[in-house]
Chain A
Amino acid sequence: MTAAYGKAYISDADFFAEREEVLKTWPTGSDVDLDEAVAYHRTISDDKKFTEALKKAAEEGRVLVQPRAGVALVDEHIELLQKLAAEADLLPTTIDAYTRLNHYEEAQKGIERSVAAGKSLLNGFPAVNHGVKECRRVVEAVSRPLQVRHGTPDARLLAEITLAAGFTSFEGGGISYNIPYAKKAPLELSVKTWQYVDRLCGYYESKGIRINREPFGPLTGSLVPPCVSTSVAILEGLLALEQGVRCVTVGYGQLGNLVQDVAAVISLRELCDEYFRKFGFENYQLTTVLHQWMGGFPEDEAKAFAVISWGGAIAALAKATKVIVKTPHEARGIPTAEANLQGIKATKQIVNMLAEQHLLREDSLQNEVELIKKEVRCILDRVFELGEGDFAKACVRAFASGVLDVPFAPSRFNKGKLMPVRDSSGAVRILDWAGTPATDEVREFHRRCVEERGVSEGRKPSYHMLIDDIYAVSKGRLVGCRR
């Protein structure tokens, strides 16, 4: 079954033909010169390369700390990143929501209005509008490895511009940057345009320039069961490897239960290796990232720090290669540099305190690892069957049939029928599997977990229980109580 897979590598001719069209979609595209970009990357020192930082951290068993950050204007963005560089190991450039949807005219207005207002009115950095030269100013002004973080279904031009500017890591994927982030973008198209992005990274790789690619693990960040996010991460990893990418970081969004979260990171890492090898890929560099709690945050800043620190603890105990941090402003708005620094510092404190500690792989942890592995294998067996030898087709058909289904996703190409709910220990279980396959044994386990909670709370598990779980963390708990 695996034999046919892994052969959809985009040919040079097709790649360069598509490239010509991509670069025409906004005037700044014409400034991208691939040869010049490759030559520029050769001059970047190792301490500013994402892949080098990840490699070193993985070897030393350290957890790298990275914030999210981006504002409308270049000088302000540089100032922000320079402040964050004081504490962060890795730096981001978070892209605004207009650019993410290729609405460059609106981004342009946002830039102009931000100049007039004297503050950023955009929720990120509009890299396409700024173009290669201005983005390179950012690269040159900061002393840390830089990654583009966004949520773009069609990120071809964004990738062309930022990679040419000297960014060394690019987040996203055809599923993870569509299903949670878009409404009408066809999955078939986003998967296809992301194959282009991966092929572009593969092109750099073929010239000896290693670009780190990071599928977005947390998806909607709203009670996504580990088996769903892990399956998506594996698929996006395979799609990237197929186009010549050799440095992949797979991610997971903390859910809140210690055992489930640590197990999820362990199984994510082990399953990626299992599937990457199964499909014949070797010589890749694989690392993991933990995202601190991605759902609704408590408004109170002291409470927010508790959530942040618990996420830091999970990253350290699960031995993730890096952790993406939240801030005490999370419930309210884009953080100031100061609030962002506080989140980073709280995280570093706990990560460093736990650096030498190891969770024993005793029964409860080992059982949870085995459970997630069973679930993922059952889902992916079906997904690969549907794909008939083509990873892209596998993704599209899996969502169309509900074999993959992400809770609370806005996309029309997601069924939205699978229903998660927490068990009494706060682990996320599945109340209604809808079209997602699972063995009888696994279904029975989830049913028992959920039933137990229902009995202890004296109510029937339902959508209402799920809604209570959605609010729970913001209201000071993990397991939602009846309102």
Chain B
Amino acid sequence: MSTENVSGPTIVLGVIGSDCHAVGNAILYRVFSEAGFNVVNLGVMVSQDEYIDAAIETNAKAILVSSLYGQGELDCEGLRERCIERGIDDILLYVGGNLVIGKVDYAQTEAKFKKMGYDRVFTPESDLNEVIKLLYADIKERFGE
């Protein structure tokens, strides 16, 4: 687990399930750290409970879930319910990457993951500067910070 001591909001980052894709994770860690977030990076192959443990421990405002390998549909289901069960009902859940198997229309994927309780859903090509702006705005709106 790697963190840097910065004053910005704390977020938890990691690649879910049995997924080994490490390159995007390394870049996201850099980019969000440079943007002022206190990033708790769990790396690849993260279970739902590992995200939640880290979020509770560090009082994180958001969990950023990556899934690249296609089995995201199986791995991501139930994370919102599990967050509620463990008392962090209002944490922001972002998810991004190659979320489902195959080249599927993005709108379909977005709808599927929003229904699972994710606040925002991103394609691999998302502009990370835009994501950073959204995340600051969403945190402000939800937590008033």
Chain A residues with CB under 8 Å of chain B are 96-98, 100-101, 103, 106, 109-110, 113, 119-123, 151, 180-184, 220, 222, 296, 299, 329, 331-336, 339, 408-410, 463, 467, 470
Residue in B closest to A119 when the chains form the complex, CB atoms: B101
29 A-B pairs in the complex with CB atoms less than 8 angstroms apart: A97-B17, A97-B18, A97-B19, A101-B18, A106-B18, A110-B74, A121-B71, A121-B74, A151-B20, A180-B20, A181-B20, A183-B20, A183-B44, A183-B45, A220-B22, A299-B124, A329-B102, A331-B124, A332-B98, A332-B124, A333-B104, A334-B70, A408-B22, A408-B26, A409-B22, A410-B22, A410-B43, A467-B27, A470-B27
Q: Report whether A220 and B73 are in contact in the complex, using a CB–CB cutoff of 8 Å.
A: no
Give the shortest distance, in Å, between A228 (CB) and chain B (any CB).
16
Main secondary structure of the interface of A (DSSP, over half): loop
Give the shortest distance, in Å, between A452 (CB) and chain B (any CB).
26
Q: Report whether A98 and B27 are in contact in the complex, using a CB–CB cutoff of 8 Å.
A: no
Residue in B closest to A331 when the chains form the complex, CB atoms: B124
Give the shortest distance, in Å, between A135 (CB) and chain B (any CB).
21
User: Which listed residue, A109, A222, A334, touches B101 by the CB 8 Å rule?
Assistant: A334
A40–B19 CA distance with the chains assembled, in angstroms: 36
Q: Report whether B103 and A333 are in contact in the complex, using a CB–CB cutoff of 8 Å.
A: yes
Give the shortest distance, in Å, between B123 (CB) and chain A (any CB).
9
Give the shortest distance, in Å, between A53 (CB) and chain B (any CB).
29
Give the shortest distance, in Å, between A261 (CB) and chain B (any CB).
20
User: Which listed residue, B20, B26, B44, B101, touches A121 by the CB 8 Å rule?
Assistant: B101
Cβ of B32 within 8 Å of any chain A Cβ, yes or no, is no
Residue in A closest to B22 when the chains form the complex, CB atoms: A410
Chain B residues with CB under 8 Å of chain A are 17-20, 22-23, 26-27, 30, 43-45, 69-71, 73-74, 98, 100-104, 124-125
Could you say which residues of chain A place their CB within 8 Å of the CB of B44?
183, 410
A105–B105 CA distance with the chains assembled, in angstroms: 30
A98–B19 CA distance with the chains assembled, in angstroms: 9
Residue in A closest to B31 when the chains form the complex, CB atoms: A467
Give the shortest distance, in Å, between A303 (CB) and chain B (any CB).
13
Instruction: Given the known inter-chain contacts A121-B73, A121-B74, please indicate yes or no for A333 contacting B101, CB distance below 8 A.
Output: yes
Residue in B closest to A407 when the chains form the complex, CB atoms: B23
User: Which listed residue, A109, A110, A299, A333, touches B100 by the CB 8 Å rule?
Assistant: A333
Could you say which residues of chain A place their CB within 8 Å of the CB of B73?
121
Interface centre among B43, B44, B103, B125 (most CB of A within 10 A): B103
A98–B100 CA distance with the chains assembled, in angstroms: 15
Give the shortest distance, in Å, between A15 (CB) and chain B (any CB).
29
Q: Report whether A222 and B70 are in contact in the complex, using a CB–CB cutoff of 8 Å.
A: no
Known: A183-B20, A333-B101. 17 other contacts (CB 8 A): A97-B69, A101-B18, A122-B71, A181-B20, A183-B43, A299-B125, A331-B124, A334-B102, A339-B103, A408-B22, A408-B26, A409-B22, A410-B20, A410-B22, A410-B43, A463-B30, A467-B30
Q: Report whether B23 and A120 are in contact in the complex, using a CB–CB cutoff of 8 Å.
A: no
A244–B43 CA distance with the chains assembled, in angstroms: 38
